[in-house]
Amino acid sequence: MYPNRFDYESPTTVEEAIAILDRSGGEAKVLSGGQSLIPMLKLRFAAPATIVDINNIPGLDYHHVDDEGNLHIGALCRHVDLEESTTLADTHPTLAAAAELVADPIVRTRGTFVGSVCHADPQGDWAATMLAQGGYVVAQGPNGRRRIDMGDFVLGPFVTALAYNEMAVEAVIPGASGTPRGSYLKLERRVGDFATASVAVSLDMDGDVIRKAGCALAGVGGRTIDANDAISCLVGKTLTEDSIDQASDAVAAVAEPRTDHRGSDAYKRHIVQTFVKRILTNLARTEQKAA
Amino acid sequence: MALDELKIGGMGASRRRVEDNRFIRGKGKYVDDVVLPAMLHMEILRSPVAHARIKSIDTSAAWEVPGVRLVLTGETMAARNLAWMPTLSYDTQAVIATDKVRFQGQEVAAVVADDPYIAKDACSKIVVEYEQLPAIVNPDQAKDSSAPLIRDDKVNQDSNKIFDWEIGDKEATEKAFADADVVSSLELHYPRSHPSPLEPCGSIADFDRATGKLTVYMTTQAPHIIRAAVAMVAELPEHQIRIISPDLGGGFGNKVPVYPGYVISILASILTERPVKWIEDKSGNLISTGFGRDVYLKGEMALRKDGKILGMRMHTTSDHGAFFADAQPTKFKIGLMHSTFACYDVPAAYLTSDGYYTNKAPGGVAYRCSFRVTEAMFFQERMIHAAANDLGMDQAEFRRVNLVKDDMFPYRTAFGFLTDSGQYAKCLDLGLEAIGYSSFKAEQEEARKRGKLLGIGISTMTEPLGAGNSREYDIIGIKMFDSAELRVHMTGKAILRTGAKTQGQGHETTWAQIVAHELGIPADDIVVEEGDTDTAPFGMGTYASRSTPVAGAAVAMVARKIRAKARKIAAHLLEVSEEDIEWELGRFYVRGNEERGVTIQDCALAAYSNVPDGMEPGLENNAYYDPPNLTWPFAAYICKVEVDPETGVWDVLKFVAVDDCGVRINPMVVEGQIMGGLTEAYAMANMQYITFDEEGNCIGANYIDYLLPTAWETPGFELHEVVTPCPHHPIGAKGIGECATVGGPAAFVNAVMSAIEHTGVRNVDMPLMPNRVYDAVRNGQDVSGMPPVRVD
Amino acid sequence: MTSLYDEVQTPTDGVPTRRVTMTVNGEKRTVDVEPRLLLAHLLRQGMQLTGTHVGCDTTSCGACTVLFDGRPVKSCTMLAVQADGHDVETVEGMSSASELHPVQEGFKQEHGLQCGYCTPGMMLTSKALLERNPDPSEDDIRWALSGNLCRCTGYQNIVKSVLWAAEKMRAERGEDA
């Protein structure tokens, strides 16, 4: 497995990177962690004329929570940085739950959060967590920065709203105004398997009342599935057997699974329903214990 | 004083492996690590479609790529009569397609260039025009009268059927069924699997025009057979062919056949007069090289009310892919399938088999398996499980009633095999005790209350390991025996060479232990070499767990020849007659005067410096060993699982393995083999398989779809041993390498079936992926794994 | 070297290369590489460090694992040019001429390998684990190694090998003495 020839650029500033992208007129590809891009180059599924390696741009490997509780993840923050974070579970439990389920431990030392979101794989874990939490991507182009909400970011399988001369410099995930609760469940047959189905749920709780609810699905459609509307039936309610059933049915209804060797559409839909129910039931238990 | 055998690394010592010294330093030498001066690199272009007529191939753009030295197509091969080659099952196989492609991944062209990146660039510039034909992906489709004829290249081949075969006593079996109180039946598919060693296949062909010598470094488990095959295919004189199989990154049967890539690299070296390296990528390995299994099995069992088995009839239909390339003894069309039920006292049995061409990769290799015994034993244990349930009998009790008893050996099976030793009930009981069988029912009840389904599965089996004897076993006419050559140097150090070929089994360590046991030379003083046909004696190679039963026996026998000569030398040195010499480990002494003796090292020195008059000097010999029978290890594998009915996910709670492989040369190595084999069994039961969609696209063409378990999923295994020495093997050993892969899968599957049998489900085909288990529980119906799989 | 592989002089003149300098097993190396050359291939062919094995095409098997600035990465999924200015450790760098790393010893003592193909990657991942977690549980080890596939051993002895090494390393530091 050997990639096609390409020109290699390794800018040391974001501006320089954008200038290269701009010059390349859509024939360039940004390389961050490379854990999806390089396999695609090797398999020759991707053959860009230019690779823009951003790994030598300093200052992009951060993740921090700002005063308003928003989590900022820089373009070179690796999966492992989030996995090893000691505070993420308190501020963004959905992300924390997903962090150890992304790919495998070695891929996690190199792959990046933002790169994974930009890869726009319908089975991607991070895109689902972003969508469930109302996250957005900060894109920088020749004319400055703009914010692209996650709901508008992915246009289709492996296609994003980034212009050819834009680079995703940061992902931002809002924090909860009340108590953040949430989780991520993924059905994988072994470590590193792509999701048969996975579910990200994020709740913003005021005592035991749900102030805000978010949900997104991976592996059950041609893109990350936005189930935020579906799970909004929980808003203003507490987690009871009834409200949990209602939410899991509503979320399962918006999945768009297709039958393949990982299972039938009905099976995948059932897994979505089961996982939503399991996440919410576990959260309800946690609430009870806390109370 | 006799030596302490364990201290010199003899039999029974868990000697640490000598090969590890290079592997842990990254100094192993695998084919891809070999670099020859002026070496070129070859890449193969493979067919993207499963069945198509080749209308045209345009290679002109590939030739234009700077650095390209040679582009080969079917035409190039045909011009030298090399477009087709014989298989190990008396069929033919395309080396590079000329007329049609018959499976996805088939070789269509090859490029030789200065480096593999360039070769790959050039491959992508070759334009092939295909006219697609319908793809056949299972035997039912192949049988259909409207099915396209896959092998239209063959004269007199007017259907997709390859063979019909039968064995057993039809009449006696019919009578058993007439007498039966209960008839139990079962039907299942053993899915296509791939041995998938981590290292893919590859070769470096180096033809020297000046000397006429062809040297090929090759990933092969059977270098001497390859030498013979190359002599036949390439029409080169055998003495001018040298096959070197260096370190192998696993084999598991995948590296037995002759692959097109090897042949193409040889021709490329002849044409370019430079060494040509071909290293397959993982996808090429998975989609084009020797697979295992892919057999549909159905059978019925005639039973008496009290649990006694009266008879068994069975039919297998096998899917061989586009070329019949099974690597198996010639006499048997479906390997040793008829070893099925060998551990049970079955008075009458009858087996029929048929095989078909499909648009899938050829192979049918013995994947960690002694020629289809994996399918045979899996069906056996699934059938036993179903029959016990149909009778309402306890699984262990039903087995106890029917297992061959210790005093029945030697026992002739209904299909004619002779099993010779074992303590079957003892192994079973040991396993039941270890897993806590007696308290299982209570545990199961308790778990049900938590919404979890517990199951327990038993698999007991003996299997035939170590082909030949040569009367019955040959591959393309070459008799299945093996060899060893031992040279003891004058300082008492030695070199041993055998015709086997280690690929992780640890021959370099364990063969030396056999010599240490026979001669008292410390194992550390013996170097073991294999894999170079210019230096190693002729042998059939390592697969089908035959190394210890055959080559290992040859090692013991050659050591005994050496000892016999050393005894004469000892008599000479001690100035007594040979009859007055006694042997203890490492030393001859004068009977009645133990103090007066000479060591084996003394004899070695004398062999080169002081031999008796008339004796040939030197201390070396060889031995060819033709075993009188197969060896019959026994295993009882018992597994306890918990099934989550809401998702279909199941976890192994405990796994107990009781293995009786006779005398263990190196217990540490034996246990390593068992744990590795159990992991492959777990993989096949749980996730590892190759399937196809309607168009013949291979699903399982890379490690994203072909799932191998990691350290995280793989359960722990609890091992136990029972030792019943093999009565005919010189050191009492039996084969062990594949027992766990052969017997293991049924333990996992029976366990899951036991957990969900209240739903009325009789069978779910492997692998028991969560979606299949969930569907079975939800619908209360069996789940078939027959391809094509629906992909929307 | 203008060729991807330095054992053959290839007619690839005019193909742009980049000069990169990296530390490999403690030694500074400067090489000219074509950008598309994978790190695994540079190590294997360019530097003859053939202990780094290539097992798959899809970043799945981990046989090519090396330590990149001390952390395990799959070297088939990095470009050689990306190693510019960085530190790479391969299996050949684990031991000195006279002394094995405890992880290497552990793999031999506990029969943690059979064919040896996955072994370098397994050992390097294990070494990195033990540097971060000197006293791992069996589950910690299984989790950390879940990006490295082995076809021979069934992992049980690999886990024991790492435990063996952990104990030895702790003893060497005077803990648990």
Confidence of residue C6 (pLDDT cuts 50, 70, 90): very low
Cβ pair B363, B255 in contact under 8 A:
no
Distance from CA of A119 to the nearest CA of C (A): 16
- Closest by Cα among B196, B173, B337 to B254: B196
Q: Report the C-alpha gap between B573 and A167 in whole angstroms.
A: 87
B365 secondary structure, DSSP code: -
How many folded domains does chain B comprise?
3
Which chain C residues are within 8 Å of A107, Cβ to Cβ?
Answer: 59, 74, 77, 147
Confidence of residue C12 (pLDDT cuts 50, 70, 90): low
Cβ pair B504, B30 in contact under 8 A:
no
For residue C88, give the amino acid letter: V
B523 secondary structure, DSSP code: G
Nearest-by-CA chain C residue for A9: C35
Based on the fold, state whether residues B423 and B512 are members of the same structural domain: no
Q: 3-class DSSP state for residue B564?
A: helix
- Closest by Cα among B501, B254, B263 to B361: B254
- The runs of H, that is alpha helices, within chain A are 14-24, 37-42, 79-83, 88-91, 93-99, 105-110, 113-119, 125-132, 150-153, 228-231, 241-254, 265-290
Looking up tokens 């330095």 gives: C6
Based on the fold, state whether residues B566 and B665 are members of the same structural domain: no
Does the distance separating the beta carbons of C116 and B249 come in below 8 Å? yes
List the single residue in A6, A43, A106 with the smallest CB-CB distance to C35. A6
Average pLDDT, chain B: 97
Based on the fold, state whether residues B300 and B357 are members of the same structural domain: yes
Report residue B43 as tokens. Answer: 């890449």
Q: 3-class DSSP state for residue B209?
A: coil
Give the per-residue pLDDT at B75: 96
Please check whether residue C52 touches B, CB under 8 A. Answer: yes
Looking up tokens 């238990």 gives: A285
Cβ pair B313, B349 in contact under 8 A:
yes
Start-to-end C-alpha separation, chain C: 51
Give the per-residue pLDDT at B154: 97
pLDDT above 90 coverage of chain B, percent: 95
* pLDDT at residue C177 greater than cutoff 80: no
How confident is the model over B183-238, as pLDDT tens digits? 999 999 999 999 999 999 999 999 999 999 999 999 999 999 999 989 988 889 99
Q: Domain boundaries in chain C?
A: 18-93, 102-172
Cβ pair B282, C55 in contact under 8 A:
yes
Based on the fold, state whether residues B598 and B653 are members of the same structural domain: no
Which chain A residues are within 8 Å of B283, Cβ to Cβ?
Answer: 1
Distance from CA of A74 to the nearest CA of B (A): 29
* Count of beta carbons in the 10 Å neighbourhood of residue B27: 15
Count of A-B CB contacts under 8 Å:
68
CATH number at residue B703: 3.30.365.10
CATH number at residue B75: 3.90.1170.50
Looking up tokens 């039903």 gives: B398
Of B608, B625, B642, the position where a domain reaches its end is: B625
Report residue A77 as tokens. Answer: 């923050």
List the single residue in B282, B646, B790 with the smallest CB-CB distance to A259. B790
Based on the fold, state whether residues B280 and B232 are members of the same structural domain: yes
Nearest-by-CA chain A residue for B772: A263
CA A23 to chain centre: 29
Of B625, B655, B680, the position where a domain reaches its end is: B625
* pLDDT at residue B704 greater than cutoff 80: yes
- The runs of H, that is alpha helices, within B135-259 are 139-143, 170-178, 223-234
| Residue-by-residue DSSP string for C115-177 | S-SSHHHHHHHHHHHHHH-SS--HHHHHHHTTTS--SSS-SHHHHHHHHHHHHHHHHHTTTT-
Of B581, B609, B625, the position where a domain reaches its end is: B625
**What order do you get walking across the sheet with A144-149 strand by strand?**
A63-65, A71-74, A167-173, A136-141, A144-149
> Does the interface ipTM go beyond 0.90?
yes
CA A161 to chain centre: 15
Q: Report the C-alpha gap between B163 and B166 in whole angstroms.
A: 10
Look at phi and psi of residue B472 and say left if phi exceeds 0, alpha if psi is from -120 to 50, else beta. alpha
Cβ within 8 Å of A, C 111-140: 125
Based on the fold, state whether residues B401 and B523 are members of the same structural domain: no
Please check whether residue C156 touches B, CB under 8 A. Answer: yes
Q: Same CATH fold, A179-290 and A63-173? A: no
Nearest-by-CA chain A residue for C143: A105
How confident is the model over B616-655, as pLDDT tens digits? 999 999 999 999 999 999 999 999 999 999 999 999 999 9
Whole-angstrom CA distances from B55 to B52, B60, B126, B661, C50 are 9, 16, 13, 55, 42
Q: Report the C-alpha gap between B549 and B505 in whole angstroms.
A: 14
* Averaged pLDDT, B99-111: 98
Cβ pair A153, A166 in contact under 8 A:
no
For the question of whether the overall pTM of this predicted structure is more than 0.95, the answer is yes
List the single residue in B116, B709, B774 with the smallest CB-CB distance to A2. B116
Average pLDDT, chain A: 97
Instruction: Give the domain extent around B280.
Output: 34-133+200-248+255-288
How confident is the model over A278-288, as pLDDT tens digits? 999 999 998 88
How confident is the model over B559-615, as pLDDT tens digits? 999 999 999 999 999 999 999 999 999 999 999 999 999 999 999 999 999 999 999
pLDDT in tens, chain A (291 residues): 899 999 999 999 999 999 999 999 999 999 999 999 999 999 999 999 999 999 999 999 999 999 999 999 999 999 999 999 999 999 999 999 999 999 999 999 999 999 999 999 999 999 999 999 999 999 999 999 999 999 999 999 999 999 999 999 999 999 999 999 999 999 999 999 999 999 999 999 999 999 999 999 999 999 999 999 999 999 999 999 999 999 999 999 999 999 999 999 999 999 999 999 999 999 999 888 877
Based on the fold, state whether residues B297 and B363 are members of the same structural domain: yes
Domain A63-173 = CATH 3.40.190.10: no
> HSE (CB half, 13 Å, CA atoms) of B431?
33
Superfamily the domain C102-172 falls into: [2Fe-2S]-binding domain (1.10.150.120)
List the single residue in C44, C55, C152 with the smallest CB-CB distance to B282. C55
Based on the fold, state whether residues B681 and B721 are members of the same structural domain: yes
Please check whether residue C77 touches A, CB under 8 A. Answer: yes
Residues of B with catalytic function: 221, 368-369, 738
Please check whether residue B680 touches C, CB under 8 A. Answer: yes
Superfamily the domain C18-93 falls into: Beta-grasp domain (3.10.20.30)
The sign of the CA dihedral A55, A59, A64, A65 is negative
φ, ψ (nearest 5 deg) of residue C147: -100, 5
* pLDDT at residue B270 greater than cutoff 70: yes
Confidence of residue C13 (pLDDT cuts 50, 70, 90): low
Does the distance separating the beta carbons of B770 and A189 come in below 8 Å? yes
Q: Report the C-alpha gap between B344 and A217 in whole angstroms.
A: 51
- Closest by Cα among A49, A57, A64 to A16: A57
Which chain B residues are within 8 Å of C11, Cβ to Cβ?
Answer: 66-67, 114
- Considering the domain A179-290 in this protein, what is its CATH number? 3.30.390.50
C interface mutation test: which of B18, B22, B24, B678 has the most C CBs within 10 A?
A: B24
Does the distance separating the beta carbons of B118 and C108 come in below 8 Å? no
* Averaged pLDDT, B705-732: 98
In sequence order, the β-bridge partners of residue B456 are: B640
Based on the fold, state whether residues B445 and B526 are members of the same structural domain: no
Q: Report the C-alpha gap between B643 and B650 in whole angstroms.
A: 4
Residues 6 or more apart whose Cβ sits within 8 Å of residue A86: none
For residue B8, give the amino acid letter: I
Cβ pair B430, B636 in contact under 8 A:
yes
Count of B-C CB contacts under 8 Å:
198
Based on the fold, state whether residues B616 and B640 are members of the same structural domain: no
Burial B678-691 (b: 16+ CB within 10 A, else e): bbbbbbbbbbbbbb
Cβ pair A20, A9 in contact under 8 A:
yes
Does the distance separating the beta carbons of A261 and B710 come in below 8 Å? no
- Considering the domain A7-56 in this protein, what is its CATH number? 3.30.43.10
**What order do you get walking across the sheet with B482-488 strand by strand?**
B526-529, B494-498, B482-488, B620-625
Q: Report the C-alpha gap between B574 and B596 in whole angstroms.
A: 8
List the single residue in B705, B708, B792 with the smallest CB-CB distance to A258. B792
Report residue C87 as tokens. Answer: 């530190």
Cis peptide before A122 (omega within 30 of 0): no
Give the per-residue pLDDT at C176: 56
For residue B85, give the amino acid letter: M
Confidence of residue B2 (pLDDT cuts 50, 70, 90): confident
Give the per-residue pLDDT at A163: 98
Which chain C residues are within 8 Å of B198, Cβ to Cβ?
Answer: 53, 55-56, 61, 63, 115, 117-118, 149-151
* pLDDT at residue C19 greater than cutoff 50: yes
Report residue A122 as tokens. Answer: 């319908």
Whole-angstrom CA distances from C71 to A106, A112, B245, B770 are 8, 15, 34, 34
Looking up tokens 């609430």 gives: A287
| Residue-by-residue DSSP string for B81-118 | T-SEEE-TTS-EEESS-SSEE-STT-EEEEEEESSHHH
Whole-angstrom CA distances from B571 to B576, B593, B603 are 5, 13, 10
